[in-house]
Chain A
Amino acid sequence: DQQVKQNSPSLSVQEGRISILNCDYTNSMFDYFLWYKKYPAEGPTFLISISSIKDKNEDGRFTVFLNKSAKHLSLHIVPSQPGDSAVYFCAASAISTGANSKLTFGKGITLSVRP
């Protein structure tokens, strides 16, 4: 049973446009959400996170939106750049169960930004 779902395996956007990456979760205990970015032959790197007490967190070109009632979050990248082409993983944690609790990851979405 997948608790974190990234239903679209891939997304292609034009450079300069907005990229919207979606993620759904089923476990209502999740209260902290993260996005990781992964290039080939490298480990995932942390991108941005959001706590369940917020509905939006912004960091430069990256914004994460959280809709708790829908158990849905999305990552917006504006403007998209060719260097953003990578696999993006959505992850969730129930930190109320304790700090450093394990993350549950989605399957990832491959973003391609066309020049």
Chain B
Amino acid sequence: GAGVSQSPSNKVTEKGKDVELRCDPISGHTALYWYRQSLGQGLEFLIYFQGNSAPDKSGLPSDRFSAERTGGSVSTLTIQRTQQEDSAVYLCASSGTNYGYTFGSGTRLTVV
């Protein structure tokens, strides 16, 4: 597609439930990133996929968070047993041969 697509755009879930967030990067972009923005905070790095290399998971806040990227394209971020502090906007970005990212519009996750 023309841009980075994220779904759903909004998600409200009950505490303790699992959620899956999806990211469709720009076709041909080898790098894919997940960030989140909590209220009043900056963009917090979560995980980074680059081609076939092992992902950089150094930003994942706990083992409840995981992500995969299938076939070097679509990525899914999974949060298990959601907590209220997981409420945030989750942003996906992809990057090609230049050094800038193209971001999606994000998924606003609210844990009630």
Give the complex CA separation of A89 and B100 in angstroms.
13
Cβ of B102 within 8 Å of any chain A Cβ, yes or no, is yes
Contact, CB under 8 Å: B4 / A43: yes
Contacts of A4 in B (CB 8 A): 42
Contacts of A99 in B (CB 8 A): 97, 99
Contact, CB under 8 Å: A102 / B48: yes
User: How many B residues face the partner with a CB closer than 8 A?
Assistant: 26
User: How many A residues face the partner with a CB closer than 8 A?
Assistant: 25
Contacts of B35 in A (CB 8 A): 105
Contact, CB under 8 Å: B103 / A43: yes
Contact residues, A78-115 vs B (CB, 8 A): 89, 91, 93, 95, 99-100, 102-108
Most chain A beta carbons < 10 A, residue from B30, B45, B101? B101
A100, closest chain B residue (CB): B31
Binding site for B on A (CB under 8 A): 4, 6, 32, 34, 36, 41-46, 49, 89, 91, 93, 95, 99-100, 102-108
Contact, CB under 8 Å: A108 / B99: no
Contacts of A107 in B (CB 8 A): 40-42
Give the complex CA separation of A49 and B42 in angstroms.
19
Give the complex CA separation of A93 and B31 in angstroms.
14
Contact, CB under 8 Å: A89 / B104: no
> Would you give the 0/1 interface string for B36-57, flagging 1 where the beta carbon is closer than 8 Å to chain A?
0000111111001010000010
